[in-house]
């Protein structure tokens, strides 16, 4: 992928007044996430001057990307949304684990499996991390990550950010993986370049793709930042 173009896209989404990145230029220009968009973007592009400051809340599972380790419950349960503030028409949101909810099945959610790969690695549990990677790889169907969310709405396409999570997991574990090249190809193909009528998306990465249409989704901070961080 063109990392410089992707980083430039991320930087254009930063709102100096709010101190956060808008979620998506078209789909959600008035939503700003303290976690996890700010965290993801900082991993991708480094320190962000003028970033918003809020009281520390229980960190979501994305913090495993930065090397933190948590009890499995924190990583495996759904997140719930917390509204931190409203600034005019803009909402500042965050996510935190819903520890009262039923845990996800790692054999049915590729992203949850991959986040848990990293969590086990961060805890020093290398063999369980490798085993979870094998479980995740079973959900790759040759085109994308065919898991429960895909089965619920196959017309919505494959989710690109899971390709990035897979590459991040391979890099951090120091393994080649079975599908590295295929996931790299997806990210290279879904980055927005010369898309008529979508100049504000240039350099960003499409959130979804389907066979025959690499640009089936909008672009957003999470997907674009994770794709940068994966390389």
Containing domain of residue 35, as a range?
Answer: 3-229
Interior/surface letters 30-69, b for 16+ CB within 10 angstroms, e for the rest: ebbbbbbbbbbbbbbbeebeeebeeeeeebbbbbbbeeeb
CA dist 168 to 55, 77, 117, 173, Å? 28, 21, 10, 8
Tell me how many domains the chain contains.
1
DSSP secondary structure letter of residue 161 = H
Cβ neighbour number for residue 1 with a 10 Å cutoff: 20
Please give the model's pTM, rounded to 2 decimal places: 0.96
d(CA 202, CA 191): 8
The two counts, helices (H) then strands (E), for the chain are: 9, 7
Per-residue pLDDT of the chain (231 residues; tens, 9 = 90+): 999 999 999 999 999 999 999 999 989 999 999 988 999 999 999 988 899 998 877 788 899 999 999 998 999 999 999 999 998 999 999 999 999 999 999 999 999 999 999 999 999 999 999 999 999 999 999 999 999 999 998 887 999 999 999 999 999 999 999 999 999 999 999 999 877 666 688 999 999 999 888 888 889 999 999 999 998
| Strands 158-159 and 20-24, bridge-based pairing | unpaired
Is residue 65 within 8 Å of residue 168, measured between CB atoms? Answer: yes
d(CA 214, CA 226): 18
């Amino acid at each position: 992928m063109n990392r410089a173009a992707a980083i430039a896209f991320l930087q254009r989404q930063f709102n100096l007044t709010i101190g956060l990145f808008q979620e998506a230029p078209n789909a959600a220009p008035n939503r700003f996430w303290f976690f996890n968009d700010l965290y993801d973007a900082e991993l991708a592009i480094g320190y962000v001057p003028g970033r918003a400051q809020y009281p520390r809340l229980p960190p979501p599972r994305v913090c495993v990307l930065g090397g933190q380790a948590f009890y499995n419950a924190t990583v495996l349960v759904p997140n719930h949304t917390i509204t931190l503030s409203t600034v005019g028409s803009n909402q500042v949101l965050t996510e935190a684990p819903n520890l009262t909810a039923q845990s996800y099945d790692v054999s049915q959610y590729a992203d949850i499996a991959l986040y848990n790969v990293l969590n086990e690695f961060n805890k020093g549990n290398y063999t369980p991390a490798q085993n979870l990677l094998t479980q995740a790889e079973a959900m790759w169907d040759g085109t994308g990550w065919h898991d429960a969310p895909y089965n619920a709405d196959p017309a919505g396409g494959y989710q690109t950010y899971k390709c990035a999570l897979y590459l991040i997991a391979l890099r951090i574990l120091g393994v080649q993986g079975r599908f590295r090249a295929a996931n790299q190809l997806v990210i290279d193909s879904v980055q927005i370049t010369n898309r008529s009528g979508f100049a504000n998306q240039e350099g960003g990465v499409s959130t979804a793709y389907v066979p025959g249409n690499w640009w089936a989704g909008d672009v957003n901070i999470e997907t674009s930042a994770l794709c940068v961080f994966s390389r």
